[in-house]
Amino acid sequence: MNALNPQLRAAGGRCGRWLSLVNLLAALWAQPGPATMSDGFALPQLGHVFTFPRDHGAHPEFRLEWWYLTGHLFADGGSRYGFQATFFRQTAPDKSTQLHLAHMALLDVQTGRFLHQERLNRDGWDASASNVTLALRNGPWSLRSAAREGAPPRAEDRSAAPAADPMEPMTLLGGIRSEVSFALALTPTKPLVRFGVNGYSRKGAELSAASYYLTFPRLAIDGQLTLGAAAPIHVRGEAWMDHEISSSQLGRDQVGWDWVSIQFNDTPSRELMLYRMRLRDGTTDPASVLQWVSGEGQPTARPFSWEVLSEWKSATTGATYPARVRIATTDLATGAPVSFTLVPLAAEQELSGRLGGIAYWEGACRVFDAAGREVGSAYMELTGYARPLKF
């Protein structure tokens, strides 16, 4: 095992005290807070009762919301690709309209080529998000519940939606200019996970630094990928999908976050999610969290450490990002110390953020255990390195 092991053994020995601290913080955070910010935008509330399919849709009473898909695709011939598809919705400060930003990215692992594109549109003809179900559109890109196929995904659609299982399939249509297009069917293979306290996820000490955090940790993928003028190829794989709803993601002293999702090769399948809220001095905010997802889909928090093993500097933005990272924690099943090293499938996976104004690194990674065995696949997101974030 690595040099972090003595710390981890101590952390394992202190696990009971650590969990007591978590419970104390949860109790303090559970105190009633304001329902809105000073500007009138809604704040997430502990004890919120989610209703589906409505809560898969948009929440314009909150300032900011995103639906985030990352995943790994494998062609029939063995070629591998990483992809990202993100739909952002933001309510304008005067609440007069919605702004829709979307990002698409594809990594061709064989060549190391990384392609990405952004779209930014006002609500209306070019972009929309339904308030009653999952039905998002930005230009020709869309993400919607398969049960809503053929229905117009209009933000003003407030008609009664049919009852739906929160695990119903989805369809994703995306692309990158004329260079890439894909049509993917996404089927949840594990239950919807509510991270935090039943979906109420704190990101800092301030009551405003919180979100509702809903996740499908495993989506089976089946679909087609087209590269340039070549014939479409059949792809399969797995994706991870986050849906976060908030009005302010950051505390006053935070400048960004590091986020990781890992899908292990275990049977039954397990996953791991980590977000590290980063302070101005580079240290980790106590609100940071690592949560395992069991084979049954139950999230459980564990202590963790984060070690940067190497870095990569962007020629586009000048930002220096972590590259290879080691995460140390305790195993969900045994409580024994474990560590995992994330190795990017390509160094250059930065989205420059020309339209949205935020550059960040979002990359497909391999995952190795302390013995050097490949044990899973991951996506890692690194924000606030080009410049501090403000939400």
pLDDT at 158: 38
Task: Specify the length of the chain in residues.
Answer: 391
Average pLDDT over residues 50-55: 94
- CA–CA separation, 66 and 211 (whole Å): 11
pLDDT at 148: 54
Its pTM stands at 0.89
Element (H, E) at 322: strand 320-322
Confidence of residue 160 (pLDDT cuts 50, 70, 90): very low
pLDDT of 52 strictly over 70: yes
Element (H, E) at 16: helix 15-29
pLDDT at 22: 44
What percentage of the chain exceeds 70 in pLDDT? 86
Given a contact cutoff of 8 angstroms between Cβ atoms, the answer to whether 64 and 358 are in contact is no
Say which residues have a Cβ less than 8 Å from residue 276's Cβ, sequence separation at least 6. Answer: 257, 258, 259, 284, 285, 288, 306
pLDDT of 292 strictly over 70: yes
pLDDT of 19 strictly over 70: no
Average pLDDT over residues 131-152: 84
- CA–CA separation, 38 and 42 (whole Å): 10
pLDDT of 153 strictly over 80: no
Most confident region among 12-26, 143-157, 217-231 by mean pLDDT: 217-231
Confidence of residue 9 (pLDDT cuts 50, 70, 90): very low
Domains of the chain: 32-248 (2.40.370.10), 250-391 (2.40.370.10)
pLDDT at 391: 63
Confidence of residue 207 (pLDDT cuts 50, 70, 90): confident
Average pLDDT over residues 114-131: 96
pLDDT at 50: 95
Say which residues have a Cβ less than 8 Å from residue 274's Cβ, sequence separation at least 6. Answer: 258, 259, 260, 288, 289, 290, 291, 304, 306, 327
Structure tokens at 193: 């996970």
pLDDT of 222 strictly over 80: yes
Helix, strand or coil for residue 207?
coil
Query: How far does CA 266 lie from the centroid of its chain?
Result: 21
Given a contact cutoff of 8 angstroms between Cβ atoms, the answer to whether 47 and 366 are in contact is no
Confidence of residue 389 (pLDDT cuts 50, 70, 90): confident
- CA–CA separation, 84 and 73 (whole Å): 11
Structure tokens at 355: 């339209």
pLDDT at 364: 98
Strand 350-351 and strand 360-369: the pairing is antiparallel
- CA–CA separation, 114 and 234 (whole Å): 20
Average pLDDT over residues 1-11: 35
Average pLDDT over residues 139-159: 65
DSSP code per residue over 286-300: TT-EEEEE-TTS-EE
Looking at per-residue confidence, does 7 or 228 come out higher? 228
- CA–CA separation, 208 and 246 (whole Å): 9
DSSP code per residue over 123-144: SSSSEEE-SSSSEEEETTEEEE
Among the listed residues 83, 79, 88, 81, the one whose alpha carbon sits nearest the alpha carbon of residue 70: 83
For residue 73, how many other CB atoms are within 10 A of its CB? 24
Mean model confidence pLDDT for the chain? 88
Average pLDDT over residues 29-48: 79
What percentage of the chain exceeds 90 in pLDDT? 77
Given a contact cutoff of 8 angstroms between Cβ atoms, the answer to whether 119 and 141 are in contact is yes
CB neighbour class for 121 (10 Å; exposed up to 12, middle 13-18, buried from 19): middle
